[in-house]
Amino acid sequence: MAISGGLAAPAIAAGFTALAPTLHALVPVIGASGFAAIATAAGHTAGSVAVAASFGAAGAGLTGSKMAKRIGNVKEFEFKALGQNHNQGRLAVCIMVSGFAFNEDDFLKPWEGWKTNLERYILQWETKHIIALSTAIQDFLASRFAMELMREGAMQTVLSGIISAFAWPATLVAAADFIDSTWSVAIDRSDKVGIMLAEVLLNGLQGSRPVTLIGFSLGARVVFKCLQELALSGNNEGIVERAVLIGAPISVNDELWGPARKMVAGRLVNVYSTKDWILGVTFRASLLTQGLAGIQAVQVPGVENVDVSELVVGHSSYLGLMQQILEQLELNTYYPVFSPSTPRSSTPRSK
């Protein structure tokens, strides 16, 4: 029931009600009336909270957490509750991580409209650097470099993946330099924040409840780094139920994705747009890589690819389309647990 991500306590209540006579026969000391009382208690809000508390969903939890140690130069790492599903006995948690924002509200707004039964939190991290990067990209788009790129069709060169970064046109190299310094700092911080997120999960601040991780832009890189760190830290399968990476600045190298895939019990989703050329410019300039998850499918068994090119025409488009994309993914629908021996198809799909 927990893995379905719903409000499980009422379902538990229904189960106790239906099975009360049978359970009485098996455990006569409690009696059928006793099991019926348990069902009644579990069926209301207080009972739901009590059931959830047995899974560790009590106390300050994520919002009350203070990192015992900071990693590198990370100055900001804070969970904020989102929505009305808190203290209501939810047996599944969702942590949403933005990585592209023009102001502090952009860490919250993309996720607000999504309807789900999950207990939701946003992770706000390194706001100063994320806004600085997003602003630099915005300034770039208004610059003469961008105009020349559009005129020359150089963005298609980036998205095609045919030539290496060393062979880029001079205009494209200049454009990359325009953004590269702020991008490099943000990349460094995202990797460190991902390690810190893994530490939070390993410390069990979410309780013994399955976790859904959703990351957008550099937030997707935070989620991916978290999964990698969980893999490096030992046998941590089962902590993360699902992970969704949206517009992810991550290499498609299968050696990186294999360990991350093993850390996710259910769906690992790569949401990409072949039209997100600004992500191609910034990422490939800093890391000189060819394959990029945010603009293409990841050909690794068990990774589900979703092409949103019809919706997303640029990286900032995700900010206003997040609710529509999440609804398209049908995350409120149950999917079987992933098994490496019978991987889910990694064929791209779109609606």
CATH number for region 57-134+167-329: 3.40.50
Whether residue 198 is predicted with pLDDT greater than 90 in this model: the reply is yes
Q: Which tens digits make up the pLDDT trace of 269-315? A: 999 999 887 787 777 555 545 678 999 999 999 999 999 999 998 88
* Sheet (strand 240-246) strand order: 77-82, 119-125, 93-97, 211-216, 240-246, 268-272, 303-307
Ranking 6-20, 58-72, 248-262, 270-284 by mean pLDDT, the lowest is 6-20
Beta bridge partners of 246: 216, 271
Nearest of 290, 247, 288, 240 to residue 266 by alpha carbon: 240
List the domain boundaries for the chain. Answer: 57-134+167-329
- Three-state DSSP class for 77? strand
The DSSP letter of residue 338 is P
* Phi, then psi, of 307 in degrees rounded to 5: -90, 115
Q: Which tens digits make up the pLDDT trace of 311-329? A: 998 888 999 999 999 999 9
Measured in Å, how far apart are the chain's first and last C-alpha atoms? 28
The span from the CA of 114 to the CA of 91, in Å, is 18
Residue written as token pair 């191609």: 280
- By DSSP bridging, strand 268-272 and strand 77-82 are unpaired
| CA angle, 230 then 235 then 238, to 5° | 75
Q: Which tens digits make up the pLDDT trace of 227-265? A: 999 999 888 998 999 999 999 999 888 788 999 999 999
Determine the residue type at 17: T
Interacting residues of 66 by C-beta distance below 8 A, sequence separation 6+: none
Tokens coding 55:
């899974």
